[in-house]
């Protein structure tokens, strides 16, 4: 379970059930279907993973949810218990002619601690671990190459433990989790600051500007 800085701060007492496997196709008029691809990442608290991707040109939509486990239609409370095998994750629909998968990977790495096992910052448990869920062999190879490059960079003094695994069923999180940073900006900023994420990222990436 999360500590006092948990994403549960200020949430509604009554939650909305998950909506099942996410289908983001056909939700952005004017964008040709053949120009759409998906990317799925787990980077700890999914509230913190939407902002950096939402601001990218070429990203059509983002949705937070649960993936990596076997249980169908899990709820937030079930995933938070750590018993479902699912992780909090973000699924991105993007136009590869405007933003590449390699660029998405770069944003992913710059917003996590890839050396932390079974957790991210203040959130502890496998459900908050980091993973790249690839949707094609091309994504797999790009993910492996980017991980290898980061390991060789000497940026971290510990081994990178982020998993690179095949994408499976992705279940949308409850509506109140979607775009949480927009719906509840004060609570979001309070959680994010308290989690230690920004302090860590600034220390690791400050030389890059």
pLDDT band at 206 (very low <50, low <70, confident <90, very high): confident
Confidence at residue 7, expressed as pLDDT on a 0 to 100 scale: 47
Q: How are beta strands 119-120 and 170-172 bridged, if at all?
A: unpaired
Angle between helix 185-195 and 197-205 (nearest 10): 60
Q: Among all residues, which ones are annotated catalytic?
A: 45
Confidence at residue 35, expressed as pLDDT on a 0 to 100 scale: 85
* Non-local CB neighbours of 117 within 8 Å, separated by 6+ positions: 129, 161
- Please state the rounded mean pLDDT for residues 134-162: 96
Confidence at residue 209, expressed as pLDDT on a 0 to 100 scale: 56
Closest CA to 133 of 91, 78, 104: 91
- Phi/psi for 92 (5° steps) reads -115, 130
Q: Return the domain boundaries, the chain.
A: 33-199
Cβ–Cβ under 8 Å, residues 45 and 123: yes
CATH architecture group of domain 33-199? 2-Layer Sandwich (3.30)
pLDDT > 70 in the chain, percent: 83
Residue 34 is given by DSSP the state G
Reading the block at residue 30, the tokens are 């004017």
pLDDT > 90 in the chain, percent: 81
pLDDT digits (tens, 9 = 90+) for 6-50: 444 344 333 333 445 555 444 455 544 558 999 999 999 999 999
State the Cα–Cα distance between residues 90 and 168, nearest whole angstrom.
13
pLDDT band at 208 (very low <50, low <70, confident <90, very high): confident
Closest CA to 113 of 190, 3, 202, 6: 202
The SS3 of residue 161 is coil
- Please state the rounded mean pLDDT for residues 195-202: 95
Reading the block at residue 92, the tokens are 């991105």
pLDDT digits (tens, 9 = 90+) for 56-92: 999 999 999 999 999 999 999 999 999 999 999 999 9
């Amino acid at each position: 379970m999360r500590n006092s800085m948990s994403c549960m701060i200020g949430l509604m007492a009554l939650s909305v059930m998950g909506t099942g496997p996410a289908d983001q196709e056909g939700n952005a008029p004017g964008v040709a279907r053949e120009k759409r691809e998906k990317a799925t990442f787990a980077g700890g608290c999914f509230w913190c993973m939407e902002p950096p991707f939402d601001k990218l040109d070429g990203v059509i939509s983002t949705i937070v949810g649960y993936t990596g486990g076997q249980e169908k239609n899990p709820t937030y409370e079930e995933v938070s218990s750590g018993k479902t095998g699912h992780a909090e994750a973000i699924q991105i629909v993007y136009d590869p002619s405007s933003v590449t998968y390699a660029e998405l990977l770069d944003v992913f790495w710059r917003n996590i601690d890839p050396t932390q096992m079974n957790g991210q910052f203040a959130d502890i448990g496998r459900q908050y671990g980091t993973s790249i869920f690839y949707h094609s062999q091309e994504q797999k190879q790009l993910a492996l190459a980017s991980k290898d490059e980061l390991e060789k960079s000497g940026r971290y003094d510990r081994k990178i433990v982020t998993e690179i695994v095949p994408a499976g069923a992705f279940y949308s999180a409850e509506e109140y989790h979607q775009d949480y940073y927009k719906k509840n900006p004060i609570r979001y900023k309070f959680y994010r600051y308290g989690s230690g994420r920004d302090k860590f990222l600034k220390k690791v990436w400050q030389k890059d500007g």
